[in-house]
Structure 1
């Protein structure tokens, strides 16, 4: 039986010029994730991460708590969709981090404004699944994510694998395995906690292999510190 632990990266640097970098809180989340993995006495046979900085920072900080962890193997198919580009296609006035900061500064509730705009931008991307306006269409994104999931499960039959990725890929995988429409993946995406863990179990072999969700969005190890407000979604 293959067991895949899908880990969402720690909090990124929202609205900063370089989003793809863990915030101070994101670093703390990753370290606490490592303590949780160590307490589970998890001994992974393989570790795979996307090529984004936030994926690899989360991996480095969390794996420091594990003894003799395997070397991280990078696979770009685990990378997130380009949310900045999707926002830019939806509204060119939000094309850069500085433009987004300026727009947020004018709002009474910046996060609610961002959520509304972001969801609208994603819906436009999803409702035009093969549009060439995007660097990567929604259908192409979904195909690469589900493709890498199948590849990893096939190549690591009978093994435990930790996978560091983002909310988008985890949401697509979750939707697919639960029989939900992929075009509603954002409903799951918006609820995934930074550094949360989703467990996928693969039973059977070859054409008889069946993947299923065992646990979704585990993050109780962050809830133990309510005063530090470690439950974040970016």
Structure 2
């Protein structure tokens, strides 16, 4: 298996009642990536995603964009989206980011409030990001979350999910995994030999619909590309977002 393509979901609906669905912009991002994969000549053999709605919808839009785009894959008889085998593996799900923030101990919330102060006009997403990173650090330090479970289990499940993709019989094309920033970052951090906090740096910068490439070879799994969002660059393309 030469490569595994890991895709972060498109922009979800932050600040709306149901976060777990793509925004219209997120749908355009996923379609743009699908078209770009086609133009690059990637042949999609199968798609795996978690059971979150935003991951499933990203897979839908990616395959739709892939099916209609012109490019080298057409000449090689690329499948349309309905022909690509799909499967669901919940180990590719994201951690419960909203739940972790909601259950962050009060002492941590007070420390954050003291550190950032009350800034008029500060973006809600920026405030949420500060709370999220504090909640993640608390979780990484070994806090067992009643709903989420432990960070160690989350990280082990993500790596096992990747190993399961590698263990599948070779398909007629590359496997595409649609997941989330935290899950993909945990996998990448492990491949790079980062410590527990290292993956937070990766998680912080990953763009919606970004492409990460892992190669499986004689020496095991190697990360060869991370957070590629070139399909969002240029006139008429959906702009880059991280939340």
Question: Please, what TM-score do these two structures have when normalized by structure 2?
Answer: 0.82
Maintained 8 Å contact 1:3/1:200: yes
Considering only aligned residues, what root-mean-square deviation do their CA atoms show, in Å? 2.1
User: What is residue 121 of structure 2 aligned with on the other side?
Assistant: 108
Q: Could you tell me how far apart the structure 2 residues matched to 1:19 and 1:91 are?
A: 23
Counting matched residue pairs gives 216
Q: Could you tell me how far apart the structure 2 residues matched to 1:50 and 1:194 are?
A: 16
Q: Could you tell me how far apart the structure 2 residues matched to 1:75 and 1:109 are?
A: 38
Q: Could you tell me how far apart the structure 1 residues matched to 2:238 and 2:29 are?
A: 10
Q: 1:30 to 1:132 in 2, by over 3 A?
A: closer
User: What is residue 125 of structure 1 aligned with on the other side?
Assistant: 139
Q: For 1:182, which of 196, 203, 208 is the aligned residue?
A: 196
Q: For 1:213, which of 206, 223, 229 is the aligned residue?
A: 223
What's the offset of the Cα at 1:91? 5.2
Q: Could you tell me how far apart the structure 2 residues matched to 1:127 and 1:91 are?
A: 13
Deviates more, 1:35-44 or 1:157-166: 157-166
User: What is residue 233 of structure 1 aligned with on the other side?
Assistant: 242
Maintained 8 Å contact 2:139/2:145: no
Maintained 8 Å contact 1:195/1:219: yes
Deviates more, 1:167-176 or 1:69-78: 69-78
Unaligned runs of 5+ in 2: 68-77, 107-118
What's the offset of the Cα at 1:150? 1.0
Unaligned runs of 5+ in 1: 93-105
User: What is residue 103 of structure 1 aligned with on the other side?
Assistant: none
User: What is residue 54 of structure 1 aligned with on the other side?
Assistant: 54
What's the offset of the Cα at 1:17? 1.2
User: What stretches of structure 1 move > 3 A for 4+ residues in a row?
Assistant: 156-159
SS of the residue corresponding to residue 226 of structure 2 reads: strand
